[in-house]
Amino acid sequence: MLLLAAANPGTGDWTHFVRIGAYSLKADNAAAIVRNATEDHVFGIEVDNDIPGRYESFLDPREKLAAIRQLAQRAHAAHNYAFVYIAGLECITAHADQTPHTLAKDHPDWLQRKLSGEPAIFKGGDAFWIAPGDEDVWISPYAPQWRKTYMERVRQIAATGIDGIYVDIPYWMTHFEGWENSWASFDDYTVAAFRTATGLDARHALKLGDFSDPNFRQWVDFRMKTITDFMREIDRNAKALNPHIKTIPEIYPGIDEAAVRVGADVYQLYPVVDAVAHEYEFGGGDHMASSRTPLDWLKYQVGMRAFRAFAQGKPTWILNYSWDGDKKIKPSDAMQNLAMSQVAAGANFWDAPGHVMAGSNDRAMRQRIFRWIAKNQKELYNPREPIQPDGIYFSPRTRDYFESQFLPEFEGWAILLMQDHREWQVVTPRTLSQFQGKTLILPDVRMLDDAERASLKDLLAGGRKLIITGEDTTGLPASDQIVRLPQRPGAEYLQSLDPTLEKAGPQQAAKMLAAVPFDGSIQITASPLLVTHIARVNGVPHIFMVNFSGLRGGQNAVPAPESEIRVTVPATSPMRMYYLAFLGEKQEIQGKRESGRIIFHLPAVNRGGVLWLAPAPSRPQP
């Protein structure tokens, strides 16, 4: 209980410090849930009690509302917080084969549909969470009567006093088998809304999947705006009854094309919600920690750093999975790798077993991890501010229409700068005008609007340097401050990397690094398999480290210790360095003055840890 005392209900923003565990809520188990959460150092209790996603409780929510109210009271009495799961656009009718009333039977007009008219109705076996005999449907967000009732249920849930509403995958149905290329929905309500917004007939005016078609681009934009507006309305309705409640969507697309396909773009969602929970399955990699390669892990870091940039100070929760039966991997090892990788990137860790949300693969290890995070949460989760970063521009509209060209170039540059231990920052259209670094990389950015071009001109006027690769859509004249690389070196570098990261390193990209002059006062010498993130936290420089050396997907989840790590800083004033190893205790690292700098040699790093610099106490005057 002592660890939670500083974060009682009503003080501070608890969403930044969550250590999430999930539980199935019933009418009589609220006390047991809170007791288990306390024992496991869980802070931020997720409970599964889906009112709008089950047709029976969508119609009559009273029993489930009572359970939510009791859970909220129990959690607050234990100085904890709780949030409740609800479905977004999915609804299941239990035992549909035995009842005359199901959502699809009662309201067929509510359903999402393919262009052919096929409704989004599924049965047991179509997904692991659909039981035999059940009916699973996906609903159009434009179905007016459904949406009215849905928002009423949101208000009723908020009125229970629960601290958060967790909205599971508010998507257009494009992720079940046979629907991947449907670009749904073409139901009457959605088609009418698109016609009102654009004047176009969605059933006849689009070349589906053709991003060169301007009408299809409007459809893409409309679908993403629809999901964003849906989440904005949920947030507004919830806060109308409970101003302190948090709205948290769960989204599995990362920074890739999946965001466009399902219509849930985290870049657009962060401004309208309080946090985003990422069930993060990054493109091209393995979503299970036990089977990831080192290259997978670095791509994972890139995605999480992008999320943190999109969030602009809001929390990033990661619901990802560590282990699901790998015979050569201990669950506790996979859990530790996953936790350290997320903490290093500034994201909150959610432990879950297999492919489900509740429980743990190793409860004792979860207790240990959560206890360590709780003890050190200020170092791990207080705001991180850039110091002297190189910038990499993330262009959402370029990703939307040119994902296969943009994303490899973006990832390649980010991975290279990580491997070379540079401080780097993801810059977006919302943060472009505030960028304070000296060099900004535009990685094959093909879509820029007038405001972005104006901000780029201002950066040049302020003495910044631009590196433009691939297509140049800036319209800027030639300048000594601009390096234009018509080729795509980031994508080429990414392609050169083998999964183990042992056959290619930053030295293979000397020309890329030469174009980005190093200007950081903090110099790090370490293996390219040790990822470092540099930021100012609590007023002093911090270095967050995570080690992927020697990891082999499905074979080995124990990193090889990294030694010979050296950190060098200017000797402008007496400095002390502290090192907090993952699951360890803080220790001081002694430095050595040499040629106007202070050199710190680190002990061997296993899974990772945190370094920070602090001024040495001044000696008292005689």
Structural tokens at position 515:
């174009």
d(CA 580, CA 609): 5
Cβ atoms < 10 Å from Cβ of 178: 10
* CATH tag, 523-615: 2.60.40.1180
Q: Is the pLDDT of residue 447 over 90?
A: yes
The pTM for the full model equals 0.94
Burial class of residue 264 in the structure, from the number of CB atoms within 10 Å of its CB (0-12 exposed, 13-18 middle, 19+ buried): buried
For 133-192, write each residue's pLDDT tens digit: 999 999 999 999 999 999 999 999 999 999 999 999 999 999 999 999 999 999 999 999
What kind of architecture, by CATH, is found in domain 2-179+221-278? Alpha-Beta Barrel (3.20)
For 480-530, write each residue's pLDDT tens digit: 999 999 899 999 999 999 999 887 655 558 888 888 988 778 999 999 999
Of all residues in the chain, what percent are helix, strand and coil, respectively (each to 5)? Answer: 35, 20, 40
CA distances in angstroms from 136 to 105, 182, 254, listed in the order given: 12, 18, 25
Confidence of residue 320 (pLDDT cuts 50, 70, 90): confident
As a whole number, the mean pLDDT across the chain is 92
Structural tokens at position 336:
């530790």
For 64-74, write each residue's pLDDT tens digit: 999 999 999 99
* CATH tag, 390-514: 3.40.50
Name the residue ranges covered by the structural domains of the chain. Answer: 2-179+221-278, 390-514, 523-615
CA distances in angstroms from 251 to 254, 255, 567, 613, listed in the order given: 8, 11, 37, 36
**What is the pLDDT at residue 355?**
74
Task: With beta carbons less than 8 A apart as the criterion, state whether 217 and 446 touch.
Answer: no
